[in-house]
Amino acid sequence: MSAPGTIWGVGLGPGDPDLMSVRADRLVRGARHVAFFRKAGRAGQSRKIVDGMLHPQAHEIPMEYPVTTEIPLEDPRYNACLSEFYEDVAGRLRDLARAGEDVVVLCEGDPFFYGSFMHLYTRLKDDVPVRIVPAITGMSAAWTASGAPITWGDDVLSVLMGTLDEETLTARARDADALVFMKVGRNLPKIARALDAAGKADRAVIVEYASMEGQRMTPLLELGERTLPYFSIVLVHGQGRRP
């Protein structure tokens, strides 16, 4: 039997190909099997990042989510549907690795930071070799785009998901010195109310498309009724100890 291939979870960074690591660039350009997540009918953001970089004979493996926002998170069908999906795609990648083939899985941001690859990793790591290439996170690109450090001195930074309930968001926002809110989208009104209740709405800014074309920053209180794109992050900068 041939030695198994390796499944590579390759972090591509926040969106600008220039921010990929040297290792990520090398693996992507040399890959013969390239897998990536996408919404049905879309190209997929991770695939867009590497456009023009893939080997001409690379075999592309799009992994299309069966559901995104069509079913509420709290509905048991949501987890059941995604679990079946991850089991299926993990099985496809496992078969390739057992046949001796390496597979590069493209990951937006860092593979181990709220990424879909984590769900493949837990299903594959005990069966075939799996290696991770870390990357710059989207939130790091966002606070860089804001033009100010996110933390100072002894500041405590909290990363919150907009999908949390409003009471939890308010309590965590009140306790932290610096804040990053992800999964903003339609959760923005809830996030804004939580920040207002925590007394931090006036310090909050929204960064859209950090490191990508269309990057912009807007104070939360000046946003108005505009709908935000998927790639949006809310920041509250720390005001901690400085020499």
Query: Is position 242 within any domain?
Result: no
Q: Are residues 100 and 167 both part of a single domain?
A: no
Q: Are residues 129 and 142 both part of a single domain?
A: no
Instruction: Provide the token pair at 35.
Output: 């897998």
Give the range of the structural domain holding residue 101, as residue numbers without chain letter. 7-133
Q: Are residues 41 and 91 both part of a single domain?
A: yes
Domain CATH for 212: 3.30.950.10
The phi and psi torsions of 105 (rounded to 5 degrees) equal: -100, 115
Q: Are residues 104 and 17 both part of a single domain?
A: yes
Q: Are residues 23 and 101 both part of a single domain?
A: yes
Q: Are residues 12 and 129 both part of a single domain?
A: yes
Q: Are residues 144 and 47 both part of a single domain?
A: no
Q: How far apart are CA 13 and CA 186, in angstroms?
A: 24
Strands 178-182 and 232-236: antiparallel
Q: Are residues 203 and 111 both part of a single domain?
A: no
Nearby residues of 19 by Cβ (< 8 Å), 6 or more positions away: 13, 135, 136, 141, 211
- The residue from 88, 118, 133 where one domain ends is 133
Query: Is position 243 within any domain?
Result: no
Q: Residue 2: its pLDDT value, please?
A: 79
Query: Is position 155 within any domain?
Result: yes
**Could you list the pLDDT tens digit for every one of the 243 residues in the chain?**
679 999 999 999 999 999 999 999 999 999 999 999 999 888 899 999 999 999 999 999 999 998 665 566 666 677 888 899 999 999 999 999 999 999 999 999 999 999 999 999 999 999 999 999 999 999 999 999 999 999 999 999 999 999 999 999 999 999 999 999 999 998 999 999 999 999 999 999 999 999 999 999 999 999 988 889 889 999 999 999 888
Query: Is position 182 within any domain?
Result: yes
Q: Are residues 17 and 127 both part of a single domain?
A: yes
Give how many domains the chain has, as a whole number: 2
Q: Residue 74: its pLDDT value, please?
A: 66
Q: Are residues 111 and 213 both part of a single domain?
A: no
Q: Are residues 44 and 115 both part of a single domain?
A: yes
Q: Are residues 127 and 143 both part of a single domain?
A: no
- The residue from 133, 164, 187 where one domain ends is 133
Domain CATH for 116: 3.40.1010.10
Query: Is position 241 within any domain?
Result: no
- The residue from 103, 133, 163 where one domain ends is 133
Query: Is position 91 within any domain?
Result: yes
